[in-house]
Structure formats: C-alpha cells, structure tokens
C-alpha cells in the first residue's frame, strides 16, 4: 500500500529551471518577461561551489540504524574534465571513466590516459557519451560496454561492446541501437546484474507516450545477454506486440541502477516531470522488478493506480538523481549496504539506509558543497568516488571543474 512508502515532500520553487526541461518554468505574473529576466539573472550570477576537495573534513549524521557519525576527508582525484558521466574499475586497479564529449579515459598512479574517443557520438543537450560498464569477466575477455547518443534519421542511443587491446578499443560490436533519444531524457545507465545479464535504463526522449508502449524501447529498463541477444526468461519475450528486450516499463528517465547485496533486488533512480510535461519535482527511487509498470506518464509524484508501481522515495522539488550504487566495502563499515546517488540540481549525495525492500532513513551528504554531482562509485580501495557535472551548461564551475573526487575515512 502507498501508506507504507517512505516519502519526501518539499516546497517547489517553480520559477527555477528543472534539469531535463528545455525552458525555465515561470509562474503566472503580470510581468512575465521581468520575472523571467530576474530568474535568469539570479542563475547567471551564481557562485562556484565552495568545496575545494583539498582534504576538508565532512561527516554524516547519526541515524536510527547507525548511531555513530561517519567522518571523512574529501579529496580531488583528477580535475579539468569535460562532464565525466560514468566511473568503473578494472581488476588491475585502473579507473575507467567517460566524458560526455566522447572520450574514454583511464586513470592509475596519478596519471590519466585517453584510451579511446567515440567517433560517432553526438554530444548535445543531455546527450553524448554516457554510461560505461566492464564485463564481469573483464580480466579474461577485456570487454568494455559504452552507451552514447548518435544521429541517424533522428537522435538515438546505441550500446556498443569493444575489446580493450594494446592499441586501444577494438572489435566493435553493436549490442543494441535505435533507442529513442532527444535533447533531453536520453537515459542511460549500464549495469551488469548478479545473473550476468546487462541491464540498460532508457529515457522517454521527451515523448511521454512511449514509456507505456511495449513496442518502443523508450522509457524502459532493458535486459540483454552480454552479446546483445535476448534472454529467454525476459517478461515479454515471445510476444508479437512487445519488444523482447524490455524488463520493466513506464519510466521517464532512469539514470542509476544497482543490485542490493544479499537480496539481488534492483533499485533505480529516475527523474520526474520538468514542468513542460507535468508538475515539477516527482523524482523517484524505485524497486524495479520483472515485467512491472512504473506508471509514467499515467501516474507520477505520489499518485497511485492499480497495476502500477509507486516510488519508494519521491522528491519534490526535483533533486535530479543521476546515478545509484550500493556500498559493499570495508573502509566505511557504517555505510555497508546503503544506497547512494548523486544529485544534479540537488547538488548533493543522498544516502538511503534500507532493510531489504523497506526504507529506514535517508540523509544528505555534501549538500551545496561541490555543485552538481553525477556518478558515484566504489573504488578498489573501498573509498567512495563521485564526479561533478558543473561544466554541462547548467552549473557554475570551480576553477578545476569538472572533477572526480573521493571520500576517505577519518578515524
């Protein structure tokens, strides 16, 4: 029942631009032009985020499930990047990351190296080179998966597999393509599940109706074998009226997914309406399950309807969740099993404490300190790494933005 869901409600600042909206949403006013100019002036005069990433000490707050505050030091790992979108680690300790302009880089021993530049990427609006995932057997097969926006007769998202070689990335293989895209709501996050399958989030490409249509790949979670073939146990496999790749549907713009340790439940973060396609806010954290309908655009925010899934957590005004991961490491014992995601408009990291399917509590970390935060990932050192997105045209950049930073425990 909806009454069992854990909700967050805040007042909506409707005159500010919501991520994903092509234009600011201005409230009714006898002076609409003046209101718009004033709002834009406020945004234009913003200041760089105060966080330096030079070793300053921050801390979490005690909660009902973790009575101790967790202190950590914030360090910059690498700076002067161009909208870093996705972070992953190879078994040999190298960090792989993507930049929206099309570059795939590695970082090890204090040195960044451009491994590859995607030749047919179309970096515009929210699109470009997005997510990256390494095959679970990367140490043996060296397979790397990239999701990016490209142009054909329209804009689409394509997922491609490469093999890392001494000369860079080779053996290009298309896993899936022609996923609808647009200037906004292009998804896309890649994650291998405990079952060895590749899960892919997709946006509705600003066409609301596509999210409910089972003959479209837009507004969905997809599930594929590692070679791009369709698993026989997908919920719509064998149906003539549905795309067999679909795992769940009714999503607006999913940007983060990960599997809960111990239960293997799939949790997802998703952007809510942006004003032009519904009341602002309504960002979501969902528990995504096989074949289920998550409602967009029929229901949103805290609305409910039979046969559709309401979110576990809802955020109004928008926080613009841009990632999602469960912490599994040892450096922060109090964080183990917690779900973390970065927020763009919300300019913070949100930590969610869960008991299986049930939300116990949540808290904000680094709120307003480092600007727009996109990906968050656990490193081989068990530290928490996150990327900023202050040079994406919607933020105000610090001198060395964009950056990848990390949280290091302080005892």
Domains and CATH numbers, the chain: 2-25+50-409 (2.120.10.30)
In sign, the C-alpha dihedral spanning 139, 141, 146, 147 is negative
Least Cα distance to 257 among 307, 199, 309, 206 occurs for 199
- d(CA 156, CA 189) in angstroms, rounded, equals 14
Distances (CA, A) of 284 to 234, 291, 357: 24, 18, 15
DSSP 236-257: TTT-TTS-TTEEEE--SBEEEE
- pTM score, whole prediction: 0.89
- What is the separation, in whole angstroms, between the first and last Cα of the chain? 42
DSSP 4-17: GS--------TTSP
DSSP 3-state helix, strand, coil percentages of the chain (rounded to 5)? 5, 40, 55
Least Cα distance to 352 among 371, 365, 366 occurs for 365
142 noted as active-site residue: no
Residue 109 per-residue DSSP state: T
pLDDT per residue rounded down to tens, the chain (411 residues): 434 444 444 333 333 333 333 333 333 433 343 333 334 333 444 689 999 999 999 999 876 555 689 999 999 999 999 999 999 999 999 999 999 999 999 999 999 999 999 999 999 888 999 999 999 999 999 999 999 999 999 999 999 999 999 999 999 999 999 999 998 889 899 999 999 999 999 999 999 999 999 999 999 999 999 999 999 999 999 999 999 999 999 999 999 999 999 999 999 999 999 888 999 999 999 999 999 999 999 999 999 999 999 999 999 999 999 999 999 999 999 999 999 999 999 999 999 999 999 999 999 999 999 999 999 999 999 999 999 999 999 999 999 999 999 999 998
Active-site residue identified among 185, 251, 271, 301: 185
């Amino acid at each position: 029942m909806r009454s069992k869901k854990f909700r967050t409600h805040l007042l909506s600042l409707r005159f500010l631009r919501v991520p994903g909206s092509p234009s600011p949403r201005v409230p009714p006013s006898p002076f609409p032009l003046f209101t718009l100019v004033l709002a834009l002036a406020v945004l234009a005069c913003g200041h760089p985020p105060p966080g330096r990433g030079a070793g300053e000490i921050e801390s979490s707050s005690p909660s009902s499930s973790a009575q101790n505050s967790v202190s950590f030091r914030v360090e910059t790992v690498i700076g002067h990047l161009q909208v870093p979108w996705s972070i992953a680690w190879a078994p040999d300790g190298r960090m792989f990351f993507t930049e929206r302009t099309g570059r795939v880089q590695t970082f090890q021993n204090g040195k960044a190296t451009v491994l590859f530049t995607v030749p047919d990427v179309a970096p515009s609006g929210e699109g470009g080179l997005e997510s990256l995932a390494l095959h679970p057997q990367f140490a043996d097969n060296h397979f790397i998966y990239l999701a990016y926006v490209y142009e054909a007769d329209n804009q689409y998202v394509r997922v491609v597999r490469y093999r890392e070689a001494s000369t860079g990335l080779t053996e290009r293989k298309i896993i899936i393509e022609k996923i609808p895209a647009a200037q906004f709501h292009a998804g896309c996050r890649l994650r291998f599940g405990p079952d060895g399958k590749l899960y892919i989030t997709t946006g509705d490409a600003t066409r609301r109706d596509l999210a409910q249509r089972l003959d479209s790949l837009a507004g969905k979670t997809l599930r594929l074998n590692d070679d791009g073939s369709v698993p026989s146990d997908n919920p719509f496999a064998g149906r003539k009226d549905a795309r067999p790749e679909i795992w769940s549907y009714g999503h607006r713009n999913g940007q983060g997914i990960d599997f809960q340790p111990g239960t293997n439940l799939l949790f997802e973060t998703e952007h809510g309406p942006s004003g032009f396609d519904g009341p602002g806010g309504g960002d979501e954290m969902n528990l995504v399950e096989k074949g289920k309908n998550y409602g967009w655009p029929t229901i949103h925010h805290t609305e409910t309807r039979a046969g559709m899934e309401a979110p576990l957590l809802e955020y109004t005004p928008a926080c613009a969740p841009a990632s999602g991961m469960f912490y599994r490491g040892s450096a922060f014992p109090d964080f183990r099993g917690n779900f973390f995601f970065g927020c763009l408009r919300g300019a913070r990291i949100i930590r969610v404490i869960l008991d299986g399917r049930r939300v116990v509590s949540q808290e904000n970390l680094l709120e307003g300190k480092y600007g727009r935060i996109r990906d968050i990932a656990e490193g081989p050192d068990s530290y928490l790494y996150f990327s900023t997105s202050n040079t994406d045209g919607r933020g105000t950049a610090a001198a060395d933005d964009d950056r990848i930073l990390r949280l290091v425990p302080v005892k």
